[in-house]
Chain A
Amino acid sequence: MISLSERPAGANSNLFLETPFDRKKRRTQSVAKGLFLLMTLLMVIPLILIIVYLFYKAFPVLSLDFLFTNPTNGMRAGGIWAAFLGTIYLVMISLLVSAPIGVLAAVYLNEYAKENWLTRIINLAVVNLAGVPSIVHALFGVGAFVLFAGMGRSILAASLTLAIMTLPVIIAATKEALGAVPMAFREACWNVGATRWQTIRRIVLPNSISGILTGIILQVSRAAGETAPIMFTGAVFYKAISEGDVFAYGLFDQCMALSMHLFTISTQVPGVPEALPYGTAVVLLGTVLVVNTFSIVLRIYLRLRKKW
């Protein structure tokens, strides 16, 4: 690529002197580096500005009251309590379904599966499940849970739809956590006569629990933010519940949800004061970002105190 023959012959043929070729090379290098830095910053800076702007616009309504009062006056005033509680219900129930299935699926892939076509197909299915558009998950929820299983539009149907949608998140994180447990741990356990499942329960799972937790936290953030899958399976525009009652929803009730509420008041209801949708957006965004940050902090902490 760079040979001595490319240096100008004759002139001053000191090997260590910078030739025009070297200078050009160096200049291209700094131009390239600057350009890539610019590209990265162009992605990051507008985003931070947008988030600051959202907070600025939402400032007039942000208070604890906003969180704990119901929407009033046809959703043109009041807070977001019913939507906030609905989101918590949806997230928790979907978590109860997807966490055990996801963790066991990852255990299978990491501890039991052999290198064969079945494993290959399972991995492919996980990738594809993660890639299915959210609105197709919604259609699946309508077809399978609302109509076929006869659940109707309910919290249960919406949660199950969310659970299947977020399954790949848990599988991927758990697989990584299990894979990080050294093989020697398992071998030591087998050597004292433990069975496969005993090894998994007593050695592998306890040593990877924090990594699994990271995946579960990510699932929470993902499920809290989704709108399309719950739109037709259980979330409604408006539902009156009593304020302060955390057991206000039943499994077969319909519910409000934060993400759906943001969609509704910003596109479907005319005459909403400007700060309200901004406030809702900030609460939703804030929740998701806090949950994610928690997961990142946990991961960094784990990496620091890793013993093996």
Chain B
Amino acid sequence: MINRQRLETFAEPFIEWMIRLCGISAIIFVFGIFFFVFREGADFFFHKLDLVEFFTSPEWYPTSVSHKRYGVLALIAGTASVTLLAMAIAVPFGLGAAIFVSEFCSPKLKEAFKIIIELLAAIPSVVWGFIGLTIMNELIIDLFKAPIGLTVLNGGIILALMSVPIIVSIGEDALKAVPDSYREAAEALGATRWQVVYRVLLPAAKNGLLAAVLLGVARAIGETMAVLMATGHAVKIPHSLLDSVRTLTATIAAELGEAPVHSEHYQVLFLIGVLLFSITFVVNLTADLIVKGIRQE
């Protein structure tokens, strides 16, 4: 018994040291991700990259023999078009569903919807991509008489379905965070539920709802497999919803396997990774600051 106690006394500083190390592991990993991804592309970044061309040229010809060109404008346009469409669908539906689940539901129904939404969030992105590739593809060809169904529209709808669970669950949290006394005060004045939602809850929860939307945007920008499979492979700036596009994420996924290690092409793909990391970092940071802002109020 005494030995065991002594052992524990000796072990404790070691264990506490381990706990502290694991505690800061998340910071280490975030820096590690940036460091290692940037490290692979650093050579190209410091010596050959023309930032203006990189961001303003729609010409992405990384494997051309005579004149390789690395312009990501078309890819950014691809990501932007799919994300915008996804948000145009997911934001009203997601916030509508969040309001319904939070304010208009009986407790049992609410529980059921929350479970369904949680399961919806669990569907792997490659399965979403497969749904886009098969079911949505046929639907779009039939409905719009389009030659191919792998388009902005397809990718946007799939991404919307993927972002909705995030928007609903975080939006619902934001509405739940509004004190009940607000609701009671408004109802005591004779307001209907809708009036309570529109005049009291939405203004009070607007920061949280904004954060929910931002996290949905971050998810849509970062999604890879679903857009790789559902948007076709056309590196061009889309002019209509029925154009095929390619996003930043899909480009990395499609080309990394073929680019020779440490070639220029390979390094540019890592730089696109750095770009994606920076975009989602800023979006997530903003969402987090907004949420923290509410808590301090």
Q: Which residues of A pack against B, CB within 8 Å?
A: 1-2, 25-26, 28-29, 32-33, 35-37, 39-40, 42-44, 47, 50, 53-54, 100-102, 104-105, 107-109, 112-113, 118, 121-122, 124-129, 131-140, 142-144, 147-148, 164, 167-168, 171, 195-198, 221-222, 224-228, 231-232, 259-260, 262-263, 266-267, 277-278, 281, 284-285, 288-289, 292-293, 296
CB distance from B9 to the nearest CB of A (A): 8
A108 touches B273 (CB 8 A): no
Give the secondary structure class of B's interface. helix
Q: Does B116 contact A (CB under 8 A)?
A: yes
Contact with A along B260-274 (1 / 0, CB 8 A): 010000000110010
Known: A140-B36, A227-B124, A285-B124. A129 touches B29 (CB 8 A): yes
* Least Cβ–Cβ distance between A147 and chain B, in angstroms: 7
The distance from the CB of A284 to the nearest CB of chain B, in whole angstroms, is 6
- Inter-subunit contact B93/A121 (CB<8 Å): no
| A128 neighbours in B (Cβ, 8 Å) | 30, 280-281, 284-285
Rounded to whole angstroms, the CA-CA distance of A294 and B284 in the bound complex is 30
Q: Which of A1, A25, A131, A222 contacts B215 (CB 8 A)?
A: A131
A292 neighbours in B (Cβ, 8 Å): 118-119, 122
Residue positions of B touching A, CB distance < 8 A: 8, 12, 15-16, 18-20, 22-27, 29-30, 32-33, 36-37, 39-40, 92-93, 96-97, 99-101, 104, 113, 115-116, 118-120, 122-127, 129-131, 133-135, 161, 164, 168, 189-195, 197-199, 215, 218-219, 221-225, 229, 249, 252-253, 256-257, 261, 269-270, 273, 276-277, 280-281, 283-285, 288
B40 A143 Cβ-Cβ under 8 A: yes
Give which listed residue, A2, A112, A263, contacts B189 with CB less than 8 A.
A2
Given contacts A131-B283, A148-B36, A225-B125, contact A121 B27 (CB under 8 A): yes
CB distance A140 to B32 under 8 Å? yes
